[in-house]
Amino acid sequence: MEACGELSPPPRTLLGPGPSNVHPRVLRALSTPLVGHLDPEFIRLMEETKALLRFVFQTSNPLTLPISGTGSAGMETCFVNMVEPGDEVVIGVNGVFGTRMVDVVQRCGGTPVIMEAPWGAVFSPDDIRAALKRCTRPKLVAIVNAETSTGAWQPLVDVAPLVHEAGALFLVDAVTSLGGCPLKIDAWQIDVCYSGTQKCLSCPPGLSPVTFSPAAQEVIRNRKHKVQSWYLDLSLLEQYWGEERVYHHTAPISMNYALREALRLVSEEGLAARFRRHEDNHLALAAGLNALGMRLVAQEGARLWMLNSVAIPDGIDDATVRKHLLAEYNIEIGAGLGVFAGKVWRIGLMGESSTRSNVLLVLSALEAVLQQNGHACAAGAGVSAAQEVYATRESRARLNQHEAR
């Protein structure tokens, strides 16, 4: 076997659908010496991590913890614990990840009741009411809050009352939204929610934060069948993450170090400031893209701040532009998935990657590459439009601060 050289990945600017760039403090945490997964120091860290997750989720749910696995493991955790054979589950399908929910529910033996919307669109309360009327006895209503494949941002505020009135529980995919836009588990009466570490939390992929309401915990305790996954069985996991500390599996120590540090960074910045930063950068990017002759494809008024799906201009080859951005500028943006494959680029502004400098960098690089490939756009138009948005937002913020005094 030929000897491998020293690992030396290039310093990319990660502006795709994830992972996002990671703060140096998180990288340092990853290099911290290991302790055992039942060591008193690690147990203390577990408690701190759970408290920080409750803060970011905006919940007091005792059953809030990071699953050892990526966001897809969090999705499976939520469904395999909540769904038993024959259970009806209303699932919103308006992109890749709603489709994946359907597959997981079917594997649990559940009965998906599919509520569809066009890719890039979101569901209205009337859509949810209509889907519930097609059920006999719904167990769950599952919706993607931030559809990473389309850039659509599903409103959640008015959903839970409809769900609970029908006798069901409310499950939310917040893989791309947690830490990047408002998500209020308790105030919005969300019963089950999962996320991932590599998006707006800006931690490497490998853990999936989940939270379960007391009502959801009661459902788990009263199951008639064993959870189909031993590894993801919360009746076992909560004994490890709870006061009992019963051995279940060897937790990924270094990843938990990294998550704790990433959550500390979120706490230090503050949720309101973090959300405002993501919004500012999204609006600036959207203005810049528009000035370059491109448009966002998600439904107007329901566009994510963290993930921007932009229609590829006519005559421009998807892969050619992405390759040029990577090779010439060290910038990664994402390709389209599913029905959007070859039709959109997905530009992520998540966590550490959501900065003014990155917005101006990608707009400048896109302009140059598009011009090289025959797309006509005015020199500097994208950066200029973005700068105008920043100036307007900053002026408004100063005015609000003055009035608040």
Class of domain 24-267: alpha beta
User: SS3 helix, strand, coil % of the chain, rounded to 5?
Assistant: 45, 15, 40
Provide DSSP, 138-199.
Answer: EEEEEEESEETTTTEE---TTHHHHHHHTT-EEEEE-TTTTTTS---TTTTT--EEE--SSS
pLDDT at 27: 97
Q: Return the domain boundaries, the chain.
A: 24-267, 270-404
Residue 313 clears pLDDT 90, i.e. is over it: yes
At 122-155, the pLDDT tens digits run 999 999 999 999 999 999 999 999 999 999 999 9
Closest by CA position to 250, among listed 39, 12, 32, 24? 39
Residue 292 clears pLDDT 70, i.e. is over it: yes
pLDDT at 402: 58
Provide φ and ψ at 307, rounded to 5°.
-140, 115
At 242-281, the pLDDT tens digits run 888 898 999 999 999 999 999 999 999 999 999 999 999 9
At 57-98, the pLDDT tens digits run 999 999 999 999 999 999 999 999 999 999 999 999 999 999
Q: How confident is the model at residue 397 (pLDDT cuts 50, 70, 90)?
A: confident
Mean pLDDT of 295-307: 97
| 125-161 residues labelled b (16+ CB within 10 A) or e (exposed) | eebbeebbeebeebbbbbbbbbbbbbbbbbebeebbe
Mean pLDDT of 173-195: 98
182-191, 198-207, 370-379: range with lowest mean pLDDT: 370-379
Return d(Cα 372, Cα 314) in angstroms, integer.
14
Class of domain 270-404: alpha beta
pTM value is: 0.96
**Mean per-residue pLDDT of the chain:** 96
